[in-house]
């Protein structure tokens, strides 16, 4: 799913008005009506007090349309105008008048703290205060209103975006933003729903289709894309009946050191379960028995050294090499990595200590094959690209790094983001159960196994992250967040593949933060 920028949304808005020969007021009517339908379907006329807080721009206008429909339907509505500016938008004013024409209970003005109404926990709040037009910090009394709303603990439905959240920057502090239980967003979810510092302001979200111009929706290219089931399906390469294991490549997983052999086992199992034809693990000698007995499907080659890798030698042509899991940073291992990089020609996936070695020896980066996949967690990323002061800076720096070194960068997190050639692919699957030992090793294995069978590195990264998260989403139903372990993610990979063709996208693809 495309994540449109604020500028693109305003442009789509304008194009829709021109091409469909409708007025901006008509488009607002569509938006407000969609929100009304959403609420009406769920509340079925219940007389729970609904407090609708409207700003004075078009987000407030949407709130006014909603208020009119709810009042006409007999709901128990209280409407407020959060009067943060005198610059009312045309469509806000039109819809303000329309509300006044159908009820004697005119909207109440809120100018300061004394005007804040009492809201009980079992009431409903609609937040139509600011939309994507917010472009500076909110006034102090507006911030106090946001705190007041939050303190009520009432279900809070934000229209388009939680008020106070800008589409392209991080709020000064948490009190500057409404905490939404649910956000109904127009045209596309907003990028900020997926970033660590801003995603927490909406517990759930959904996109409402307001019929924007279809040509605009199809032809507009976006820098950010959300990867759910419908984006994953076209990446999938089907298998034909006469295929054999020789077609799916040979993954070589190089890693491990004394005490860290399980990581290589997990990655090897991940690669084979993702569909690699053959998997060979290259490990220090001490892991030979461990790996052979814990994962008989893998072949094993050992280093001359017992405890860590000193010299990588093998006598076959792998389709892809993964390096770094549990490998440590011994100087001999570093040297072995360098020699490998100097001679290697096949695609690579680099993780864990492999990334730490790259950070400590940045000139190694020049030796990487183009489109090498790097899979850092936040600390490893920081070592690679330096520190950042906020999420947007992090993304910018990650993009520069990926461009400079021509690498596919997989930024692991609650919503893992893959960066390549100035595009960002935000993964929609996965859950807090993945915060568990070895889950990154499994991911590296899956991506390696996908490259092995012919996926290009970018597709393998994007699809691999999707499958990894999806597998965890299915497994968590059986294990719960706390008990999910990395091995389960491997065991449920088959289910994740099969789910691609099973049923329409379900709510599990929606952003959830209900750990």
Q: For the CA atoms of 273, 249, 442, 332, what is the dihedral angle to 10 degrees?
A: 150
- Residue 272, interface with ligand NPW (CB under 6 A)? no
Q: Are 93 and 64 in contact (CB under 8 A)?
A: no
| 457 touches, from ligand NPW, K ion, none (C-beta below 5 to 8 Å by class) | none
Q: Which is nearer to ligand NPW, 7 or 297 (CB)?
A: 7
φ and ψ of 122, to 5 deg: -90, 10
Does 115 count as an annotated binding residue? Answer: no
Q: Which residue intervals of 362-414 are DSSP H helices?
A: 378-385, 391-405
Q: Which is nearer to ligand NPW, 171 or 347 (CB)?
A: 171
x/- site string to K ion, residues 104 to 143, per CB under 5 A? Answer: -----------------------x----------------
When binding is defined by CB under 6 A, the residue of 8, 33, 34, 59 that contacts ligand NPW is 59
Query: Bridge-partner residues for 318, per DSSP?
Result: none
Per-residue 3-state assignment (H helix, E strand, C coil) for 448-481 = HHHHHCCCCHHHHHHHHHHHHHHHHHHHHHHHHH
Query: Bridge-partner residues for 175, per DSSP?
Result: none
Residues 194-223 contacting ligand NPW, CB under 6 A: 210
How far apart, in whole angstroms, are the C-alpha atoms of residue 179 and residue 120?
16
How far apart, in whole angstroms, are the C-alpha atoms of residue 98 and residue 103?
9
How far apart, in whole angstroms, are the C-alpha atoms of residue 497 and residue 493?
6
Q: Are 357 and 364 in contact (CB under 8 A)?
A: yes
- Residue 185, interface with K ion (CB under 5 A)? no
Strands (E), 111-234: 124-128, 155-159, 182-186, 205-208, 224-227
How far apart, in whole angstroms, are the C-alpha atoms of residue 32 and residue 25?
10
Does 303 count as an annotated binding residue? Answer: no
x/- site string to K ion, residues 139 to 168, per CB under 5 A? Answer: -------------------xx---x-----
Does 60 count as an annotated binding residue? Answer: yes
When binding is defined by CB under 6 A, the residue of 21, 86, 104, 136 that contacts ligand NPW is 136
x/- site string to ligand NPW, residues 159 to 198, per CB under 6 A? Answer: xx-------------------------xx-----------
| 158 touches, from K ion, ligand NPW, none (C-beta below 5 to 8 Å by class) | K ion
Does 377 count as an annotated binding residue? Answer: yes
- Residue 134, interface with ligand NPW (CB under 6 A)? yes
Longest dimension (CA), the chain: 87
Q: Are 355 and 376 in contact (CB under 8 A)?
A: yes
- Residue 96, interface with ligand NPW (CB under 6 A)? no
| 75 touches, from K ion, ligand NPW, none (C-beta below 5 to 8 Å by class) | none
| 13 touches, from ligand NPW, K ion, none (C-beta below 5 to 8 Å by class) | ligand NPW
Give me the sign of the Cα torsion angle 80, 84, 86, 90.
Answer: negative
The least CB distance from residue 126 to ligand NPW, in Å, is: 12
- Residue 58, interface with ligand NPW (CB under 6 A)? yes
- Residue 387, interface with ligand NPW (CB under 6 A)? no
Count of positions on this chain that bind ligand NPW (CB under 6 A): 31
Residues 9-38 contacting ligand NPW, CB under 6 A: 9-10, 13, 27-28, 31
Q: Which pairing describes strands 320-323 and 250-254: parallel, antiparallel, or unpaired?
A: parallel
Q: Are 274 and 267 in contact (CB under 8 A)?
A: no
Q: Are 185 and 206 in contact (CB under 8 A)?
A: yes
Does 256 count as an annotated binding residue? Answer: no
Contacts for 246 with CB less than 8 Å, ≥ 6 apart: 277
When binding is defined by CB under 6 A, the residue of 20, 23, 37, 85 that contacts ligand NPW is 85
Does 86 count as an annotated binding residue? Answer: no
- Residue 198, interface with K ion (CB under 5 A)? no
Number of Cβ atoms within 10 Å of the Cβ of 161: 32
- Residue 3, interface with ligand NPW (CB under 6 A)? no
Q: Which stretch binds ligand NPW (CB under 6 A): 58-66, 265-273, 330-338, 491-499?
A: 58-66
- Residue 84, interface with ligand NPW (CB under 6 A)? yes
Q: Which stretch binds ligand NPW (CB under 6 A): 8-16, 233-241, 327-335, 350-358?
A: 8-16
Counting Cα atoms < 13 Å in the Cβ hemisphere of 413 gives 21
DSSP 209-250: -----HHHHHH---SEEEE-HHHHGGG-----TT--GGGG-E
Q: Which stretch binds ligand NPW (CB under 6 A): 42-50, 125-133, 313-321, 426-434?
A: 125-133
List, as residue ranges, the binding site for (6S)-NADPHX: 58-62, 131-137, 160, 263, 326, 377, 441
List, as residue ranges, the binding site: 58-62, 127, 131-137, 160, 163, 263, 326, 377, 412-416, 440-441
Contact positions vs ligand NPW (CB under 6 A): 9-10, 13, 27-28, 31, 55, 57-62, 84-85, 87, 89, 130-138, 159-160, 186-187, 210
């Amino acid at each position: 799913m495309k994540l449109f920028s604020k500028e693109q949304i305003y442009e789509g808005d304008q194009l829709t008005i021109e091409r469909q020969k409708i007025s901006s007021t008509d488009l607002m009517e569509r938006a407000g009506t969609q929100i009304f339908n959403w609420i009406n379907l769920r509340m079925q006329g219940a007389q729970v007090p609904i407090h609708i807080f409207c700003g004075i721009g078009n987000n407030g206008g949407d709130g006014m349309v909603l208020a009119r429909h709810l009042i006409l339907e007999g709901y128990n509505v209280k409407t407020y105008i959060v009067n943060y500016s005198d610059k009312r938008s045309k469509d806000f004013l039109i819809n303000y008048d329309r509300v006044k024409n159908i009820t004697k209970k005119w909207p109440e003005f809120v100018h300061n703290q004394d005007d804040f109404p009492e809201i009980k926990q079992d009431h409903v709040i609609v937040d139509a205060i600011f939309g994507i037009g917010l472009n500076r910090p909110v006034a102090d009394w507006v911030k106090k209103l946001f705190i007041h709303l939050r303190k009520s603990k009432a279900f809070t439905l934000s229209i388009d975006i939680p008020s106070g959240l800008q589409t392209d920057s991080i709020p000064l502090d948490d009190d500057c933003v409404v905490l939404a239980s649910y956000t109904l967003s127009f045209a596309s979810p907003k990028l900020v729903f997926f970033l660590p510092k801003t995603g927490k302001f909406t517990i759930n979200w959904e996109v409402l289709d307001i019929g924007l111009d279809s040509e605009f929706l199809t032809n507009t290219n976006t820098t950010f894309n959300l990867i759910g089931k419908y984006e994953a399906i076209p990446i999938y390469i089907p298998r034909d009946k006469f295929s054999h294991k020789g077609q799916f490549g040979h993954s070589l997983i190089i890693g491990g050191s004394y005490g860290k052999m399980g990581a290589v086992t997990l990655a090897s199992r991940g690669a084979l379960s993702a569909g690699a034809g053959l998997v060979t693990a290259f490990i220090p000698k001490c892991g030979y028995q461990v790996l052979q007995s814990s994962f008989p499907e893998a072949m094993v080659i050992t280093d001359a050294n017992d405890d860590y890798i000193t010299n990588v030698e093998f006598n076959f042509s792998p389709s892809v090499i993964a390096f770094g899991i549990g490998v440590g940073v011994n100087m001999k291992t570093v040297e072995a990595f360098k020699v490998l990089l100097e001679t290697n020609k096949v695609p690579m996936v680099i993780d864990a200590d492999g990334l730490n070695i790259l950070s400590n020896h940045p000139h190694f980066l020049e030796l990487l094959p183009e489109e090498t996949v790097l899979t850092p967690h936040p600390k490893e990323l920081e070592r690679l690209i330096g520190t950042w002061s906020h999420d947007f800076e992090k993304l910018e720096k990650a993009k520069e790094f990926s461009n400079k070194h021509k690498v596919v960068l997989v930024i692991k997190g609650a919503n893992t983001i893959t960066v390549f050639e100035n595009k960002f692919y935000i993964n929609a699957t996965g859950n807090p159960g993945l915060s568990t030992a070895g889950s990154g090793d499994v991911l590296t294995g899956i991506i390696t196994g996908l490259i092995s069978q012919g996926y290009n590195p970018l597709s393998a990264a994007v699809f691999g992250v999707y499958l990894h998260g999806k597998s965890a989403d299915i497994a968590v139903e059986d294990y719960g967040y706390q008990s999910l372990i990395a091995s389960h993610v491997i065991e449920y990979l088959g289910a994740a593949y099969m789910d691609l063709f099973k049923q329409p996208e379900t709510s599990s693809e929606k952003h959830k933060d209900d750990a």
